[in-house]
Amino acid sequence: MRSSPQQKLSKSAIKAWRVSTAIVCLVFILIPLFFWVYNTFSPSNTNFSIWLIGSISAVLFIISGLIIFFLPEIRWQHWYYQVDEHEIDLQSGIFVITRTLIPVKRVQHVDTRQGPILRSYGLADVTISTAATTHRIPALDEKTADQVRDRISKFARLAKEDV
């Protein structure tokens, strides 16, 4: 029986995810705000109920608060990965637990990717592509990400086979 993968993501992943979730939530909070602005400046009488807008935004506020503060932490706790010379082993998911195994010799190429948020926390995603699928190990710190990428690519080179 194989054991579960052991490696964890970088701890600062939680902070970075909080920021990116916050940005997404902000967009949703903007929607009731838009209606409120429309209400105050609209010349006609066909206004939306201020109570409805108020309660919707309150609910949105609470939900986004919960999502921003708890979800990244829980998500981080459930993410494991491991890379050895034969397989890349990933386990993730809070409710739906997915365990993925990618034979290293199937790997076509490996990327590291970094958006502005990840960069400001010194993090990067590692993306692994096979001929059929694309997988992601999110939010590793830059150095680890580079190492993981280079290791996978080295192993893949050693175990090269046709398609």
Query: What is the contact surface with other proteins in residues (CB under 8 A)?
Result: 1-2, 86-87, 95-103, 106, 108, 129-135, 159, 161-163
* C-beta closer to other proteins: residue 53 or 104: 104
The distance of closest approach from Cβ of residue 155 to other proteins in the complex, given in angstroms and rounded to an integer, is 11
| Cβ closest to other proteins, residue 2 vs residue 40 | 2
**Which of residues 45 and 98 has its CB atom nearest to other proteins in the complex?**
98
Q: Are 163 and 131 in contact (CB under 8 A)?
A: yes
**Beta carbons within 10 angstroms of residue 46's beta carbon:** 5
Collapsing DSSP states into helix, strand and coil, what is residue 4? coil
Q: How far is the CB of 147 from other proteins (least distance, A)?
A: 22
What is the Cα–Cα distance from 115 to 124, expressed in whole angstroms? Answer: 8
Q: Are 139 and 9 in contact (CB under 8 A)?
A: yes
